[in-house]
Amino acid sequence: MLQLASLGIVLYAFWILLSGYFEPFLLGAGAGSALVVVLLARRMKIVDREGHPIQMIAAVVLYWPWLFKEIAKCAWEVSRIILDPRLPISPVLVRFKPSQKSQVGLATHANSITLTPGTITVEAAHNEFLVHGLTRASGAGVIDSEMDRRVTRVEGYR
Amino acid sequence: MSAALDILSWFCLVAGGAFCAIGALGLVRMPDFYTRMHAASITDTVGAGLMLLGMMLQAGFTLVTVKLVMIGLLLLFASPTATHALAKAALARGLKPLLAAGDDPSKP
Amino acid sequence: MYAAGAIALLVALGLALARAVLGPTVFDRLQAANTIGTLAMLMLAVLGFLTGRPEFLDLALVYGLLNVVGTIAVLKFFRYGDLGNPGEDAEQNT
């Protein structure tokens, strides 16, 4: 119920911010559209703790600055590899077991790995991630990483 | 708008453009499909992020900035999903990645 | 200064287009198409600032959404040969 209300509010805010007009007709149409989407989402049963994880918002917002710092660091390294005339790559495929339990935690972890340049999650399952790394160091860096611990902390936050 | 903010936003725009171009250069230079994806992810994250940041600094606290933030969030959530889907589909189709010689660092 | 950003984006677009033409597999082309979509989105935003018409940002947002949906749809088609296929993850996640 809390999730449905939150979804409706987010959708209505999205409508208002996109339109930028404040006429009664457009405000009403926005409310109607948001309501229809919320009802459809409820009918599809995709709004629950996994599909609309409002319990994670505070922890995720705290996690983002660290993720951005990590992305900047890795992007700098990969840029140097691309601009290097010798192209010093040593691609590896790495398998490892992530420590998250819920689907939303696993998705956050997999997306974080893919967002970081130099590593891409190729397969993400409950007990095993398959990660492609651009260099041996970046591939080995995802196993039992700090990212893993931080995402688990975000997931466990209540 | 103050001059310091202007200079900062120009720096962000130029650096973002440079990272986009580097990512695209990597897309051409890299030897196989999986390594090309790493180059493309530079364009998607750092290049796009810095350009959007530069434009946000120019726009100030307006509705334009809100829309730029929405574009940034869309990239943040959608681009890794598309990349992952692409990599998974390629592996499932049997496209073998080019691997460096040496032992496997995997940990079961 | 927006012009410098726009020129850098044009160079990047040209390089991505080269990859899309060179191939060699369909996934390379899809990756190039995805990159071109991201770059076009940024280009629309920069053009909006360059010409002083922020309405272009709405176009950029819609283009970004279409880009994601398009990539996933084409991928699904090449993976299963059918857009209505539920995929192999459907039963194990319910």
Strand partners, B79: none
Each residue's pLDDT tens digit, A21-74: 788 898 899 999 999 998 998 888 777 766 677 777 778 888 888 888 888 888
Distances (CA, A) of C3 to B59, C39, C46, C54: 17, 15, 8, 16
Domain count, chain C: 1
State whether A18 and C58 contact (CB < 8 Å).
yes
Residue B33 domain flag: yes
Q: Is C50 exposed, middle or buried (0-12, 13-18, 19+ CB in 10 A)?
A: middle
SS3 per-residue string spanning chain A: CHHHHHHHHHHHHHHHHHHCCCCHHHHHHHHHHHHHHHHHHHHCCCCCCCCCCHHHHHHHHHHHHHHHHHHHHHHHHHHHHHHCCCCCCCCEEEEECCCCCCHHHHHHHHHHHHHCCCEEEEEECCCCEEEEECCHHHHHCCCCCHHHHHHHHHHHCC
Each residue's pLDDT tens digit, A78-97: 888 888 888 788 888 888 88
DSSP labels, B37-103: HHHHHHIIIIIHHHHHHHHHHHH-SSHHHHHHHHHHHHHHHHHHHHHHHHHHHHHHTT-PPP--SS-
Closest CA relative to residue B83, chosen from B33, B26, B21: B33
Map tokens 């001059």 to a residue.
Answer: B3
Give the structural domain span for C20. 2-80
Residue B48 domain flag: yes
Chain A, window 71-130: residues with a beta carbon less than 8 angstroms from a chain B beta carbon: 71-72, 75, 78-79, 82-83, 87, 89-97, 110-112, 114-124, 130
Give the structural domain span for B45. 3-92
* A117 chain-B contacts, CB cut-off 8 A: 38, 41-42, 45-46
Question: If DSSP codes are grouped into helix, strand and coil, which group holds residue C81?
Answer: coil
> Which residues 6+ apart lie within 8 Å of A122 measured at CB?
A93, A130, A131, A132, B34, B84, B87, B88, B91
Residue C43 domain flag: yes
* B16 chain-C contacts, CB cut-off 8 A: 5, 8, 42
pLDDT tens, N- to C-terminus, chain C (94 residues):
788 888 888 999 999 899 888 878 888 888 888 899 889 999 998 888 888 887 888 888 888 888 888 888 887 777 776 666 666 554 444 3
Each residue's pLDDT tens digit, B70-90: 888 888 888 888 888 888 888
Residue B46 domain flag: yes
Can you tell me the distance from the alpha carbon of A77 to that of B23, in angstroms, rounded to the nearest whole number?
12
* B87 chain-A contacts, CB cut-off 8 A: 120-122, 132
Touching partners of A (3+ C-beta pairs < 8 Å)? B, C
* B64 chain-C contacts, CB cut-off 8 A: 54, 57
Query: How close, in Å, is residue C1 to chain A by CA atoms?
Result: 23
Each residue's pLDDT tens digit, B14-61: 888 999 998 888 888 888 888 888 888 888 888 888 988 988 888 878
| B45 close to B22: Cβ distance less than 8 angstroms | no
Residue B105 domain flag: no
Helices (H) and strands (E) in chain C, counts: 3, 0
Residue B14 domain flag: yes
B1 vs A58, higher pLDDT: A58
State whether B86 and C71 contact (CB < 8 Å).
yes
How confident is the model at residue C85, as a pLDDT? Answer: 66
